[in-house]
Amino acid sequence: MHQLHTGSRRSHRAAAMLVGTVLATSALAACGPSITTGDATPSADADVLVAPTAESPSGEITIWDRSGDLFNVFDSVIADFNAKYPDITVHHEAIDIDAKLQNTLITGTDVPDGVFLDDAKVAGFSEYLWNLDGVLEPYLGDISEQKVGVNSLDGGIYGVPFDSDPGLLYYNATALEAAGVDATAIETYDDLLEAARQYQAAVPGAQPIHLEQSPFLGQLQLEMYASQLGTSLADDNGELRLDSPEYEQILTWLDTVQKEGLGTRAEYLSPSDIAPLESGQQVFYPWAIWFSFAPQQLLPETTGDWKAMPLPAWEDGGARSGAMGGSSFVLPKQGENSDLAWLFYEFLMFDEAGYTAVWGPNDVYPDGLNTSIPSFVPAADPAKPLFGPVEALGGQDLWATATEASTEIPVGTPIPTWWTGAVDYLGNNIQRMLDGQLTPAEVIDQSTQDIQANLVDRQ
C-alpha cells in the first residue's frame, strides 16, 4: 500500500486501490494458496525465477503500474535503466491493476512481465507469481526484515520490496505551542492522551487526535499499532491471533480517545478531516509517512505548521514505529520475459543509480519522493538523504526522522490471503466500537469468530 490521497492527482488512484484491495483480494482469498509454514524449503523447480545470464540481455518487457505520480517517477527512470541495459525495451503501461490483474492471470492472456502491487495482495496472487528467493538472495541481508516477511509465503519470496512506510506522529507544532503543550515530551501513548487533554483544556471544543472512520483504513492503522507491539492479525503460519493482550491494549486506547471526546472521527483527508486540521481542532495524526502529502498539497492554511516525530511507544522503551501499508513488484510466471523484468526492478531498488533516480529530485518531485523511503537499507542511509527537507513541515529533515523510525519496526509476518476480507468484520467492528456499540473485548470476540469461520476455515 502506498499513499491514499483525496482531492489531488492521486485521488483516482487512491479510490481504485482502496476499492480494488477490498474486492479483488477478497475474491482471491478462496483460490489463493494456503499458508502453512514460513520456513519450508522452496522446491528447486520451474516456480523459482532464474536471472538472465547473457552478458548483454535483450528483449522486450511489459511493466504494469497505476497511473499517477509513481507511474511518472518509474517512467522517468527507464532512460537510466537503458543506459545499463540498452537492448531491453520497456513498455510501461498505466493500468487499473485492481480491475484487470486477476482475470489476466487466470486466463493467461497478455500477461505482463512485472506488476506494481500492494503488499496486502501478494499472498493472494502467489500461485501465479515467480518465487524470487534465488534472485533476491544477494540482497536479503540488506532489505528491511519487515518487508521480506510480508512478501514471504511457504518458504518462498514473491515480491521485490519497494517502499517502507513507517508510522509517524504528525502534529501541528504551531497550534500546540500556542496552547502551551510541549509535543516533544510525548514518548508513550499515555503521554499522547495527556497532551490531547491539555490541548482540549486550552482550546475548548477541540478533538485533537485523528480517529479513522474508514473501516479499511481503520484496520490498516490498527495493524500499524499492532506492528509496534510485534504482532499482526496472522502469525507466521497464517493462524489468526487477534485475541491477544496486544490488540486489547490498542482497542482500549482507541476506545478511551473516543469516550473522552479527544478524537476527530473522519475518513483520511476527506473534507470532514481537512476542515478540523486547518482550523486547529485536530492536531495529532498517527499515520504512515505518506501523510506528509497533506501539508504539502491539501492544507494551505496550516502548511509549514506541521512536523513529524516517531510514534509514541505502547510502553516505556517500546518500539517507536510500526509498518502501515507498502507495495512491492511481482513477476508473473506467465510473463514472456519476466526474467528481464527482474533486471528492471533490480536496477530500481538495488542499484544506486536506480534508487537515487526514484527517490531523488525529479520532474514529479523536485525535492525528491518524500512520501516513503526505500526498503533497501543501504539506500535508506540517514546520513545520505535522497530527498530534501520538507518546507510544508517547517523545513524538517523528514528523511532522517523516517529512516530512523523505520529501524524500529519489528519484523513482519506474511500477510494472509484473507486480510482484506477481514475488513467486513474487524474493520467494521472497530467503527461500531467507536460508535459506542461494542466494547474492545466484544470487537475481539466477534471479529475472531467471524474471521475464523468465514475466512480462515474456508481457505
What would the pLDDT profile of 158-184 be if each residue is shown by its tens digit? 999 999 999 999 999 999 999 999 999
Cβ(149)–Cβ(413) below 8 Å? yes
Under the banding of pLDDT at 50, 70 and 90, the label for residue 40 is very low
Q: State the pLDDT at residue 22.
A: 34
Residue owning grid cell 481537512: 274
Assigned domain for 347 exists? yes
Model confidence band, residue 36 (pLDDT cutoffs 50, 70, 90): very low
With respect to residue 395, please indicate whether it lies within any of the assigned structural domains.
Answer: no
Q: Is the pLDDT of residue 73 over 60?
A: yes
**Same domain flag for 127 and 16:** yes
Predicted confidence at residue 415, as pLDDT, reads 86
What cell numbers appear for 391 in the block? 518546507
Cβ–Cβ under 8 Å, residues 200 and 262: yes
Residues 6+ apart with CB under 8 A from 109: none
Cβ proximity of 275 and 206 under 8 Å: no
The confidence band for 327, taking pLDDT boundaries of 50, 70 and 90, is very high
Q: Span 364-369, mean pLDDT?
A: 90
Residues 233 and 308 in one domain: yes
Sheet holding 160-161, edge to edge: 88-94, 59-65, 114-118, 327-330, 160-161
Is residue 402 in a domain?
no
- In this predicted structure, the answer to whether residue 17 has a pLDDT above a threshold of 70 is no
Print the domain residue range for 335: 11-165+325-386
Least confident of 25-34, 122-131, 231-240, 436-445: 25-34
The per-residue pLDDT for 33 is 28
pLDDT score at 123: 85
pLDDT per residue as tens digits for the range 375-411:
999 999 999 999 999 999 999 999 999 999 999 999 8
* Rounded (10°) angle between helices 352-359 and 69-84: 160
The CATH code of the domain that includes 61 is: 3.40.190.10
Residues 99 and 39 in one domain: yes
pLDDT of residue 352: 97
pLDDT confidence band for 124 (50 / 70 / 90): confident
Is residue 306 situated within a structural domain? yes
> Looking at residues 63-79, what average pLDDT do you find?
95
Say whether pLDDT at 24 is over 90.
Answer: no
Label residue 10 by pLDDT band (50, 70, 90).
very low
Region 416-423: what's the mean pLDDT? 90
Closest of 268, 211, 220, 123 to residue 426, by C-alpha: 220
> How far is it, in rounded angstroms, from Cα 65 to Cα 324?
21
Is 25's pLDDT higher than 50? no
Ranking 2-16, 345-359, 436-450 by mean pLDDT, the lowest is 2-16
pLDDT number for residue 8: 34
Residues 186 and 309 in one domain: yes
Indicate whether 294 and 159 sit together in one domain.
no
Residue 345 placed within a domain: yes
Domain shared by 171 and 275, yes or no: yes
Same domain, 122 and 226: no
Q: Is the pLDDT of residue 141 over 60?
A: yes
- Measured CA to CA, the distance from residue 209 to residue 324 in angstroms comes to 18
Question: Grid coordinates standing for 298?
Answer: 491539501
pLDDT of 37 strictly over 50 = no
| Residue 403 within a domain | no
**Are 310 and 451 in the same domain?**
yes
Other CB atoms within 10 Å distance of the CB of residue 45: 7
Confidence of residue 46 (pLDDT cuts 50, 70, 90): low
Whether residue 401 lies inside any domain: the answer is: no
- Judge if 288 and 265 occupy the same domain: yes
Average confidence (pLDDT) over 137-152: 93
Beta bridge partners of 64: 93, 115
Per-residue confidence band for 45, with pLDDT thresholds at 50, 70 and 90 = low
- 205 and 148 inside one domain: no
Mean pLDDT check: name the lowest of 14-28, 35-49, 186-200, 235-249.
14-28
User: What pLDDT does 236 receive?
Assistant: 86
In this structure, the strands spanning 284-288 and 306-310 are: unpaired
Mean pLDDT of 211-215: 98
| d(C-alpha 330, C-alpha 57), whole Å | 20
- The pTM for the full model equals 0.85
Q: Is there a domain that residue 394 lies in?
A: no
130 and 175 co-located in one domain: no
For residues 340-369, average pLDDT: 95
Query: d(Cα 329, Cα 158) in Å, to the nearest integer?
Result: 9
Quote the mean pLDDT of the chain: 90
Distance CA(190)–CA(313), nearest Å, equals 9
How large is the average pLDDT for residues 86-114? 97
Question: In terms of Cα–Cα distance, which of 355, 349, 8, 373 is closest to 167?
Answer: 373
The 3-state secondary structure of the chain, one letter per residue? CCCCCCCCCCHHHHHHHHHHHHHHHHHHHCCCCCCCCCCCCCCCCCCECCCCCCCCCCEEEEEEECCCHHHHHHHHHHHHHHHHCCCEEEEEEECCHHHHHHHHHHHCCCCCCEEEEEHHHHHHHHHHECECHHHHHHHHHHECHHHHHHCEECCEECCEECEECEEEEEEEHHHHHHCCCCHHHCCEHHHHHHHHHHHHHHCCCCCCEEEECCHHHHHHHHHHHHHHCCCCCECCCCCECCCCHHHHHHHHHHHHHHHCCCEEEECCCCHHHHHHHHHCCCCEEEEEHHHHHHHHHCCCCCCCCEEEEECCECCCCCCCCCECCCEEEECECCCCCHHHHHHHHHHHHHCHHHHHHHHCCCCCCCCCCCCCEECEHHHHCCCCCCCCCEHHHCCECHHHHHHHHHCCCCCCCCCCCCCHHHHHCHHHHHHHHHCCCCCHHHHHHHHHHHHHHHHHCCC
pLDDT above 50 for 431: yes
Q: Look at 153 and 351; give whichever has higher pLDDT.
A: 351
Verify that 38 and 77 share a domain, yes or no: yes
**pLDDT of the residue at 252:** 98
Q: What total of structural domains would you count in the chain?
A: 2
